[in-house]
A and B are shown apart, each in its own frame.
Chain A
Amino acid sequence: QQQVKQSPQSLIVQKGGISIINCAYENTAFDYFPWYQQFPGKGPALLIAIRPDVSEKKEGRFTISFNKSAKQFSLHIMDSQPGDSATYFCAASMDQAGTALIFGKGTTLSVSS
């Protein structure tokens, strides 16, 4: 079964626009929610992460919004740039060390210039 559902599968945004990627989960035992970014030919790299005790975390142009009651979290990329074009994966883990990550299926973002 798919424990972390990610949408959309692909996204096209104009330069300067806002990119929004959504994830939903079922297991209330999840307590660590990272987002990974992957460029073609490379391994994924941690972008930003959140724990359920906060509703929002911002790092530069990247923000995670977390809704514990709805069991949803989302990634917002403000002022999207062509260099942000990549595949983004949300993930969740039940242990606070973030060991056994369950990933979403990924969203391919293309930012047009």
Chain B
Amino acid sequence: DADVTQTPRNRITKTGKRIMLECSQTKGHDRMYWYRQDPGLGLRLIYYSFDVKDINKGEISDGYSVSRQAQAKFSLSLESAIPNQTALYFCATSDLLDRGGSNEQFFGPGTRLTVL
């Protein structure tokens, strides 16, 4: 979905390096999310944010941190990357007012991260 963009799309890094994944959205949504996807494990919520001042931990926040720089931008950081953080990372957004009535989350195209 071009309304939710993620950079980089692919990244290879080494153990111990700090890395930041960025997400931007033009949908005007208040809520933003970071998930990781591992083969056979589905998607797991890392962090979510209701607005710039409201950030919440998800299922698997250990080893990760986030920053909500603006309504449209939500970054995920790995302070010291480790190999088991190798995964596909997705950013998503949803509308606080839920105008569509579906509570739909809109996902970006994903960032494939490999930690060697």
Binding site for B on A (CB under 8 A): 6, 9, 32, 34, 41-46, 49, 89, 93, 96-106
Contacts and interface: CB of A to CB of B under 8 A. Distances in A.
A106 B102 contact: no
A6 B107 CA distance: 21
Given A43-B92, A89-B42, A106-B42, A99 B107 contact: no
B105 A103 contact: no
B103 interface: yes
Contacts of B96: 97
A43 B107 contact: yes
B43 A44 contact: yes
A106 B41 CA distance: 7
Given A43-B110, A44-B90, A49-B103, A103 B42 contact: yes
Given A43-B110, A44-B90, A9 B40 contact: yes
Interface of B: 1, 4, 31, 40-45, 48, 50, 56, 58-59, 90, 92, 94, 96, 98, 102-110
Contact of A97 (B40, B56, B92, B98): B98
Contacts of B58: 100
B41 A46 contact: no
Nearest to A98: B103
A99 B31 contact: yes
